[in-house]
Structures are given as C-alpha cells and as structure tokens.
Structure 1
Amino acid sequence: MIFYYLLEYADFKYCLMVVLLLLLLTDIIKNKNPPRFPPGPWPLPFLGNVFTGLHFRTIDKEALVTQLDSFPDRPVIPLFYKAFKGLGVISSNGHLWRAQRKFVVTHLRTFGEAKKNLETSIQQESVFLCDAFKEEGGPFEPHFLLISAVSNIISSLMFGHRFNYHDERFQKILRLDAEAIILSGNPQALLYNAFPRLFEYLPGPHQKIFANYEKIVDFLKDEIKKHKEDWDPSDPRDYIDAYLAEMEKKKSDPEAGFNMETLVVATLDMLEAGSESTATTLRWGLLFMMKYPHIQEKVQAEIDRVIGQSRQPTLDDRANMPYTEAVIHETQRMGNIVPLGFPKKACKDTTLGGYFIPKGTTVTTNLSSVLNDKSEWETPDTFNPGHFMDDQGKFRKRDAFLPFSAGRRSCVGEPLARMELFLFFTSLLQQFTFSPEPGVELSLEGQLGFTYSPGPYRLCVSPR
C-alpha cells in the first residue's frame, strides 16, 4: 500500500515536471527574438525583465524622431488599461486618438492661450500658492502645495473652478493619485502586466493602484454630473461643457469615441499629465535652488532687475529673463521627470539603428540618453544653466532638449506647462529665498514611479 502511494506521488511529480517543462518551452518559443533583434538583458521565464533592475540612466538607444510613421501607437499595458481603457489621448490609437487629441488641442487654444485666460489664472493661483507658503511656520514639505496649485489650473480648464488648498476631498484625490504614480514603478505592481488574469485575484500594490483610480474616477464622475445638470450648450464654460457639446456633434461618428466613458478618461488624462509632471518639475526646481544657492541668487537678481517687487511676473517678461529661462530648462533636463516616456508600439516592421523591430513590438524611448548625451551637453552630469546660454548671455534653444518627448506622441500640454513653469517658478523666487532644513544634507537622487521625482524633502522659506 505504501509503495502504491509512493508510486502515485512520483507520477504526480513527474507529470508536474513535464507540464512545467512544456510551459517553459512554450514561453521560450513564444518570446524567441527574430534575427537582428536589438540586444538586451536575458529575460526570466514567464516574468520577462520585471526584476532585471535596469536603471534608465544605463539605457542608450537611438531616438525615434526620424521614425514618426513607424511608432504612432500605444501598446496595451494591463496595469493602466484597467483605469484608462485605451481611451482618451494618452493610451488610445488610430482614429479615436486623432479625434481626441485634436479636440484637446483646440480646447486649450480656445479656452486658454487665445483669450489670455490661462496667464491670468496662473497669476492668480501664484498668489494663493505664495500665501500658502507664507502660512507655513517652520520647515515643510512643499509637494502637495505645489501639486494643488498646478492642479487648480487644470481644474479651472476642466471644471470651470479651482479648489481651496484645505478642501479635504480634493487633497485626498491628489494624495491618491500621487500614491498610485509612485506604486506604478514597483516591481511587484509590474508583475500584473505579465500575469493580469492571475494577479487580478491576488493582493499586492496593483490592487492599491486600482482602488485609488476608482476613487479618483468617482470624483471625476461627480464633477461631470454637476455639469450635466446645469449645462447650457450655447455657453460652454470649460472643457467638460465643450466635450458634452462635441458628443452631440459626433453622434454620427461613434469611432471618434465622444461618449461619457471617454469623457471620464479624458479628464483623468488631463489630471495625470497636466498636474503631476509640472508639479514634479517645480519640486526639482526648488530642490536645485536650495542645493545651488549661488544660482538662486542670480535668478533673484534678474527678477529684481526686470520685474522688481511691485508687480507680478508676466509671460512677456520671459524674453528679458534669459538666465531664469535657462535655469528652468536646466531643471527640466536634469530633473528628467519622464526618462522612459510612455511606451510606443511599432505599427509595421521597422529597422531602427540597424536592428529589426517586428510589427507589434513595444518600444520604450529613452529620453534620458538625449538629455544626458555627452556629445550634446558640455557638462551633462552637472546642473549648469550655461547649457542654455550663448556667449552673449542670451537664451539659446537646444535640439537635444526633449523633456516633452518628440514626434506625434509628444505632450499636447507643452505650451501650458511652459507657461506654468515660468510664472510659478518666477513668482516663488520673487517672493522667497529657499534653504534646506537645518542639519539636513540634500540629496539629488530621485525615485522612479510613473515619473522620476525628488525624494521627500522639507524646505525653509525666507520672505524677500
């Protein structure tokens, strides 16, 4: 009897081993690289390169700006697909993407730059932000004050109103979003991309990401519901009103995706892309100013000379403030907040850098290889505003400056982000001198989630 059970157990182990070997063989065949495929780290069976530990600073690839027609699409990324569903602008493709992107660009132009509304909105928000900084007693963490200010610009565009910095519901949404962004870089969360069906039922950071996005989506649905209750098609107040009108116009073109589900994702897009990236850049900016006080002093000297203390900065001041512009651009270069961009997908068989990229291959563009290219920048590893100054002390553009990505998938909110960065940064440096918390050594090592952001830090402000 004992022999029988041992034999049965051995048979079970044998069968299990055969199944595992077959699965391993299937995985190897399925993921076998075609001839002339780009080299890379050896992927683990079933897991791929989730735990490879590559850092974005060690990956150098040819830029994709010369292959615009080959990489216009987004791949399906399960970790984000659950919330974004392949809709909106960030994760959509084809006709839907073109229609949604065109609408966003038109909306920003109509409600923003053309009417000068955005500049006024940012100036007003700068006053609220500076007042909030003044209210802080000792060393404080500026993260959520900065993201509140930047988010209020998007909120004004999207919802037609801003939120008080002490609005508990709004602050909760910002914290949920910040947590999801950090967690999205966690290797355990990335395992969901390899086994979405399995990990759907397992605990882990991916479940926290999903739960956070569900609460954010509920918040957005409430805002949309309020708009629908008092919507006047003849008098659009903001993005949501304009989108509701577009839904009526595009009923005959359902493939364009103008419906309630896409509207929710589109507003999530704008909060995600329009708030986090700019606020993170400002956090890097204040960190660099504390780390390099002599540069902070030069920025303030230019502000005093061009603007003074009797009025607010305006966008017209940019032309007369080359050093401040250079510092902001160098902050974007060194901060490098989206080093790997958002993945793209080859829509056809392509040759890139002499390597063969089959149709359907997911490609990650390493922007950091351009922003830190030793052949493009005199001192790529040093914070040096001189990278953007010519011999006459004037601001100069650089072709290798690509913080907003490049090609057809470059950030549609770049003009808005540039306005916010200049007005917020200049207003803060006009009003305050920033210094680190006493006894604390500042670190320039960031943390990589969906974006590359500074580690938590506290600062001290001295009114000027």
Structure 2
Amino acid sequence: MALLLLGLLGLLGLLGIWTLLRARACSRAPSLAPRWPPGPRPLPLIGNLHLLGVSQQEYSLMELSEQYGPVFTVHLGLQKTVVLTGYQAVREALLGTGQRLLDRPPTAIFQHIQGGRGIFFSSGAPWKAARQFTVRTLHGLGVGRGPMADKILQELRCLLGQLDQYEGRPFPLAVLGWAPSNVTFTLLFGQRFDYQDPVFVSLLRLIDEVMVLLGTPSVQLFNVYPRLGALLQLHRPVLRKIEEVRAILRTLLGARQSPTPGEGLAHSYVDALIQQGQDTGPDGLFAEADVMACVLDMVMAGTETTSSTLQWAALLMGKHPSVQSRVQEELDRVLGPGRCPRPEDQRALPYTNAVLHEVQRFITLLPHVPRCTGADTLLGGYLLPKGTPVVPLLSSVLLDKTQWATPRQFNPEHFLDADGRFVRPEAFLPFSAGRRVCVGESLARTELFLLFAGLLQSFSLRPPPGLSPAGLNTVPAPAFTMRPPAQVLCAVPRPQGC
C-alpha cells in the first residue's frame, strides 16, 4: 500500500492542495471548538496510511491503540477519523451516544453503488424507513419462530444430501455456503433454488467476486482519494459486477406477481417491498431505486455473512478434532439418532452453543463498519464535530484481553461457566450493538445453530488425506469480510445423522 501511494504522490499533491483549499472554503465552525483525541502525526497527503497494513488493518489499529489509548485519531489521507478500541470505549459509543452516532459516513464506493439508499450504508430518514420496514417484514415472515426454522431444516436436508454425494471424499469448503445462501433467497424471493440452477450459481459467483473486489487495495485507495480513484477508474470493476447482480435481481423482481395493495401478509421480502412501494407511491421512501437498494443489501449481506461463518465453523472443527468430538457427544446424547435439531434445543446443548459463539468471536467476520457523528458529540472526553467518521473496532472488543481469558486462542470455555452452563459475556458483539445492530441477527443465530448442529450430527469433518488438522489454513482470505481461505475438507458420515 505504501509503495503504491508513494508512486502516485505527484497526482496526490495536486489533488490534496485542491481538496484542502475547497475544504477550508466550505468549512463550518462548530458551536464549540473540537477537541480531538491523540494520534500519530500525519504525513502530508497520505496521513497515517503508511502505518496501516494492506490487509487486516484492524491489527494495525489495535497496535496504535496501545500507544495512543482506546480513543485516538488517525488520518486516512486528508480525512480525520476517530478509532475506538476495547469493550468499554466501543460500548460507550454504541449504547451511550443516543441518536448522535447512527449515521454512516459517505464511503465513496458505497455512494456509487447505493447512492445513500438501502439498509446498511444509508443514514437519516431513508435508513430509518428501510430498517423499520425490514425488521417488521422479517418478523412477519416468521424469522425467529417456527415457520423459518422449518425452511432452514429443509435446506439442511438438501445440504446433507449434497455432502452425501462426495462419499467421504474431499469437498470444496464453499459448498457449505450454499445452504445459508439459499435460506436468504427463500426469505427474499419466496422460493429456494436448486444448487445447480444457473441463477443460483451466477448470484453466488458474483457475490464472491464483489466481496473480493471490495477488499482490494485499489478500492481502499478509491475510498480515501475518490477523485483520484475516479480518474484512474479504480471503482469500475466493482460497479460492473454490481450491475450484473442488479440485472439478475431485476429479472427476479419482474417475475414476482405484483401484490394488490393492502391484500394482507406478503409471502416474501420482495413481495412486501413491492407492496410497500405501491402504498407509498413512486416518489416516497420506497421508490423503485429504494426497492432495488434494499434487495441488493439483503442479498449481499445475507449470503456472505452467514455463509462465511458456517464455513469457518466447519474449518475450525477440522482443525480442532477434540472440540468437534465433544460437540458430537453432546448432540448424540441430547438429540439421539435421527432427530434433527430445533431452535429450542439450544438450552440443552450448552457446549454446542458455546462452540458456535466462539467461532463468531474468534473469526471477527466484519471487524469494523464506520459510523459518523450526526451532531457535535462528546466521546471518551473528546468533542468531535458533526460529520466526523468514527470506527468502533469490533475486533478489538472480541479480542479484548480484559474481557476474554485467552483472546487469541480458539477456546469455547469463554462461553461456559464453572458448571458447564452456557453464558454470553456482554463483550460478545459480532453483530454490533445499539439501534444499528445487525438487522438479520435473529435469522443468523437460528440459521447458524440449526445448520451447524445438523452438520456435525451427520458428519465428522476431517482434513483431506495427507494433511493433519494443524495443516489446515486459517489465515483469512483477502476480501471485504474475513472469509476463510478456499480449501477442501472431508465429510465422513456418522450413524447418528438426522
């Protein structure tokens, strides 16, 4: 990253001078003089980018926090950004600032993709409307209750049948992502896809390519220097792939029969969106562009997060066979042969539940998603002006040595008390916290439990022939999320399968 930036210093010089002059001309004096947290001295134009790694930048930020404290300032190019590390600082920001830290900063690539619409990278009234609608609709579709659990178990049986075809031979880890992706598609479109369906295959391929592109240094550079990035066309590969995703989604949307306004409960998220758009009119908060933005957000986030987490869970079971054996012993004892897990079984499966939570803690799938102050905000004793980007570093919470006995080790005992009962520490925040907590948390929790428990009940996951458990690669692959690296496992059938 540093070499790439230095190679572009000539262009950056002109860009930086122009941007700085424009910023000064347009600046607004806050009601009180800001008081910024400490941080490393920035270099001209590039700020502190030379101190951050190309990948897994959260570790570089955690190292800086050891020198500057849990609340500090970094300069991403010319942009001042406040970073929060550790449970106490992050919790105060997410739960103690009310309405003042709900917005997203206008990240360049997502502004080009969504234009401030959708659920995840929007702010203000559009975000509130989209989120309230999504929460209400998911509840109406049975998320967190029996109807959705039945659909997940149907998908579990399809996944187990797919793994049966390998007869214990190595299978690509990515196969495990098909089931959670299909659960999302069933929720969105009211139908599941065959695993070989061209639409299903194309969507998963494109989502994978988009996630990889979003994590590349060129897109990171575009976000820091959007005008220079636009000049160099750094964002074009992502936008081309996104447009391919939109083309598929338009076809799926067009295939849905438009429900009659006020006809009652919708059968899918898309049906509910279309009906909402009809009820509010073409110029309301659910115009055609907003419908597409919400569907795109749900497709991208709903498939990537749960899919990657299930793959991580399987990979870590292959790497820790003693943990896997203990999970299977508990499943055999509680469920018995032939009975698939149900959501209500979680209470009777404390170790299985602890392992699944430890997977989510250990991998930190989405280390940070930035916020933005909606007003002058006092945070950690510092006064931040309106519009300040703030990064609550969730990875620093999930690895906080004051909260976890062995934060850098995979250790399910983090979620068990002295009597072996499941406990959930307050520092377990993989879905964030507060009013902007992940909208799909309830679905993800149910989905992961049923798929993980059913998978381990039916199969033992082992490394491929010639490779020891220690040889399995757990270094995250470069992408927008911390996804597992591509590799193979063996799924050996068990007699107790559901």
Give your verdict on TM over 0.5: yes
Instruction: Give a deviation string over 1:340-388, Cα, whole Å, max 9, x none.
Output: 1x21110111222223321101111101111111111111111111111
Q: CA RMSD in A?
A: 2.7
Task: Report SS of the residue matched to 2:37.
Answer: coil
Aligned to 1:428: 455
Deviation, structure 1 residue 404: 0.1
Aligned to 1:8: none
Task: Report SS of the residue matched to 1:453.
Answer: coil
Instruction: Give a deviation string over 1:166-194, Cα, whole Å, max 9, x none.
Output: 11232122111112112212121122223
CA distance in 2, matches of 1:232, 1:265: 22
Aligned to 1:298: 326
| 1:142 corresponds to which of 165, 169, 173 | 173
Q: Is 1:267 aligned to 2:295, yes or no?
A: yes
| 1:90 corresponds to which of 100, 103, 120 | 120
CA distance in 2, matches of 1:439, 1:207: 42
Instruction: Give a deviation string over 1:114-152, Cα, whole Å, max 9, x none.
Output: 762210000000001111112235322221x22221121
Q: Is 1:40 aligned to 2:39, yes or no?
A: yes
Compare 344-353 and 36-45 and name the one that shifted more.
36-45
Instruction: Give a deviation string over 1:182-223, Cα, whole Å, max 9, x none.
Output: 22121211222234344335344x322111110001111111
Q: Does the C-alpha gap of structure 1 residues 456 and 31 become closer, same or farther in structure 2, counting only changes over 3 Å?
A: farther
Aligned to 1:242: 272
Compare 131-140 and 413-422 and name the one that shifted more.
131-140
Task: Report SS of the residue matched to 2:178.
Answer: helix
Task: Report SS of the residue matched to 1:87.
Answer: coil
Letter in 1 for 2:38: P
CA distance in 2, matches of 1:261, 1:20: 32
Letter in 2 for 1:56: E
Aligned to 1:10: none
Task: Report SS of the residue matched to 2:378.
Answer: strand
Aligned to 1:345: 372
Deviation, structure 1 residue 19: 6.6
TM-score, scaled to structure 1: 0.89
1:52-451 pair list within 5 angstroms? 52-54=51-53, 55-57=57-59, 58-59=61-62, 60=65, 61=85, 62-63=89-90, 64=93, 65-113=95-143, 116-136=146-166, 138-143=169-174, 145-204=175-234, 206-228=235-257, 231-233=259-261, 234=263, 236-251=266-281, 254=283, 257-340=285-368, 342-440=369-467, 441-451=471-481
Q: Is the 8 A contact 1:390 1:396 kept in 2?
A: yes
Deviation, structure 1 residue 326: 0.2
CA distance in 1, matches of 2:302, 2:209: 17
Letter in 2 for 1:207: R
Compare 119-128 and 193-202 and name the one that shifted more.
193-202
Deviation, structure 1 residue 24: 8.9
Q: Is the 8 A contact 1:89 1:97 kept in 2?
A: yes
Structure 2: where are the runs of 5+ without partners? 1-10, 28-32, 66-84
Deviation, structure 1 residue 451: 0.9
Q: Does the C-alpha gap of structure 1 residues 209 and 47 become closer, same or farther in structure 2, counting only changes over 3 Å?
A: farther
Deviation, structure 1 residue 314: 0.7
Q: Is the 8 A contact 1:50 1:191 kept in 2?
A: no
Deviation, structure 1 residue 37: 1.4
Q: Is the 8 A contact 1:75 1:344 kept in 2?
A: yes
CA distance in 2, matches of 1:367, 1:304: 35
CA distance in 2, matches of 1:317, 1:21: 58
Structure 1: where are the runs of 5+ without partners? 1-15
TM-score, scaled to structure 2: 0.83
Aligned to 2:484: 454
Letter in 2 for 1:134: D
CA distance in 2, matches of 1:47, 1:120: 52
Q: Does the C-alpha gap of structure 1 residues 136 and 40 become closer, same or farther in structure 2, counting only changes over 3 Å?
A: farther
Letter in 2 for 1:272: M
Instruction: Give a deviation string over 1:278-318, Cα, whole Å, max 9, x none.
Output: 11111111111011100000000011001122121111111
Q: Is the 8 A contact 1:217 1:268 kept in 2?
A: yes
Q: Is the 8 A contact 1:285 1:331 kept in 2?
A: yes
Q: Is the 8 A contact 2:15 2:228 kept in 1?
A: no
Letter in 1 for 2:367: P
Letter in 2 for 1:159: F
Q: Does the C-alpha gap of structure 1 residues 105 and 442 become closer, same or farther in structure 2, counting only changes over 3 Å?
A: same
